[in-house]
C-alpha cells in the first residue's frame, strides 16, 4: 500500500474518532508533531534498539506532559507500534484537509512580490471563496522573483497572474512570430 493511502486511512480514522472535538485533536497532533520533529526524540522513537514498550512509555510520558487526550495518545502509540510514526507529517496534513472540508474552508497559497494590503487580501479571499464555494484561508508568501502580480494556488490548481509569467508568455509569442 502506498504512503498516501496509508496516511489517508490513518487520518480518516482519527478524524472519525475525534467526532465533536476535531479542532482540539488537530491541535494535539500538531503539538506532538512539533515535538517529534526534534532530532533526539525522532531518533529514540524510531530506534529499534529500544523495545516498543519502552518507546511507548516515552510517548505516554511526553503526551502526559503535553496534556494530550487519551485518543491522541493512543493514536500516536498505535503509529509507533505499527512503525508508522514517520508518516505523522503526512497524516497531519491529510487530517487538516478533512477538517477544512468539514468546516467548509479552503486553503489558498498566495505568492506575491510584496505584502498585500488588507483590502487586497480581503478582496482576494472573497474571489477565492466565490470560486470554490468555501471560506478561503489565505497563506501569503513573499517571492521577489515573480517581479509583480500574484500567483494563487487553490486545491492543486495554480492561477498565475505574475509579471514573470506574462513576460514569459510574451517572449514565447515573439519567438513563434520570428
Domain residue ranges in the chain: 3-100, 105-177
State the pLDDT at residue 1.
53
- Residue-wise pLDDT for 150-164, tens only, equals 999 998 899 888 888
Phi/psi for 154 (5° steps) reads -135, 120
Contact 163, 147 (CB under 8 A): yes
What is the second-level CATH architecture of the domain 105-177?
3-Layer(aba) Sandwich (3.40)
| pTM to 2 decimal places | 0.76
Q: C-alpha angle 68/85/74, rounded to 5°?
A: 35
3-100: CATH number: 1.10.520
Average pLDDT, the chain: 91
Q: Could you report the per-residue pLDDT of 124-144, keeping only the tens digit for each?
A: 999 999 998 999 999 999 988
* pLDDT value for 122: 93
Amino acid at each position: 500500500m502506498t504512503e498516501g493511502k496509508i496516511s489517508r486511512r490513518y487520518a480518516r480514522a482519527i478524524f472519525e474518532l475525534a467526532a465533536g472535538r476535531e479542532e482540539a485533536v488537530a491541535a494535539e497532533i500538531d503539538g506532538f508533531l512539533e515535538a517529534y520533529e526534534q532530532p533526539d526524540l525522532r531518533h529514540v522513537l524510531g530506534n529499534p534498539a529500544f523495545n516498543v514498550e519502552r518507546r511507548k512509555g516515552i510517548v505516554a510520558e511526553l503526551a502526559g506532559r503535553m496534556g494530550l487526550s487519551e485518543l491522541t495518545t493512543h493514536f500516536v502509540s498505535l503509529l509507533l507500534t505499527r512503525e508508522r510514526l514517520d508518516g505523522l507529517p503526512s497524516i497531519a496534513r491529510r487530517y487538516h484537509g478533512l477538517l477544512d472540508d468539514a468546516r467548509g474552508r479552503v486553503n489558498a497559497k498566495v505568492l506575491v512580490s510584496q505584502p498585500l494590503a488588507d483590502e487586497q487580501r480581503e478582496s482576494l479571499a472573497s474571489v477565492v471563496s466565490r470560486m470554490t464555494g468555501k471560506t478561503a484561508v489565505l497563506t501569503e508568501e513573499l517571492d521577489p522573483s515573480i517581479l509583480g502580480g500574484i500567483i494563487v494556488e487553490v486545491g492543486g490548481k495554480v492561477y498565475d497572474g505574475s509579471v514573470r509569467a506574462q513576460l514569459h508568455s510574451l517572449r514565447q509569442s515573439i519567438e513563434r512570430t520570428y
